[in-house]
Amino acid sequence: MLYPTPIAKLIESYTKLPGIGIKTATRLAFYTIGMEEDVVNEFAKNLLAAKRDLAYCQICGNLAEEETCAICQDQTRDLSTILVVEDSRDVSAMENIQEYHGLYHVLHGLISPMNGVGPDDINLKSLLTRLMDNEVTEVIIATNATADGEATSMYISRVLKPAGIKVTRLARGLAVGSDIEYTDEVTLLRAIENRTEL
């Protein structure tokens, strides 16, 4: 169906979000235009503020409001352990279980030979720099249980083994193909507790 230009543009904008198809985008667009103007203005203001005010931590790559995220600033964290994740949503999932007290490193992607993504295309060099500068004794790899997650895990393990750093992987309570951000807290806790050395 042909919609007026403002609606068509709004629908097109919504379809750019992951997991949003044309039907959902159309529903969201019509819902949005039916909202009170002050609610729409607040939504737009919050969207712009999030984009403007958030950056990536210069140490770990997590989302931050300052140069360094709250986790990297926390003096009570265990500096000997770094948990490597694909993105900031995985950090949130791990923090929700309130059992891991080490540091994080966010890769912002995974090695994916099929998609032409190599080690230089993700946030890996800064991890290696961090390991040289700190007293890290263990790196826990917490990438998703997918082919790309496994490729990334094996690459990191191969690179770190010669440095004498213990490299472990979350236990396989996580289903193959599952995303960490959607995994329940008990399963995540067991995966950390039963991690295996690579």
- Give me the domains of the chain, ranges plus CATH numbers: 5-53 (1.10.8.420), 70-197 (3.40.1360.10)
Read off the pLDDT of each residue in 113-131 and give the average, rounded to a whole number: 92
Please, are residues 110 and 125 in contact by the beta-carbon 8 Å criterion?
Answer: no
* Predicted local confidence at residue 171, as pLDDT: 72
- What is the rounded CA–CA span in Å between residue 159 and residue 198? 12
Rounded CA separation 54/74 (Å): 19
Q: What is the pLDDT of residue 186?
A: 64
Confidence of residue 85 (pLDDT cuts 50, 70, 90): very high
Output the pLDDT for position 87: 95
Comparing C-alpha atoms, which of 193, 195, 128 is closest to residue 168? 195
Per the prediction, the chain carries an average pLDDT of 90
For residue 127, pLDDT beyond 90: yes
Q: Which residues of 27-50 are buried (b: 16+ CB within 10 A; e: fewer)?
A: ebbeebeeeeeeeeeeeeeeeeee
User: What per-residue confidence (pLDDT) applies to 154?
Assistant: 92
What band does 176 get if pLDDT is binned at 50, 70 and 90?
low
Residue 91 has pLDDT above 60, yes or no: yes
pLDDT-based confidence at residue 8 (cuts at 50, 70, 90): very high
- The reported pLDDT for the residue numbered 185 is 73
Residue whose entry in the numeric block shows the structure tokens 């529903």: 27
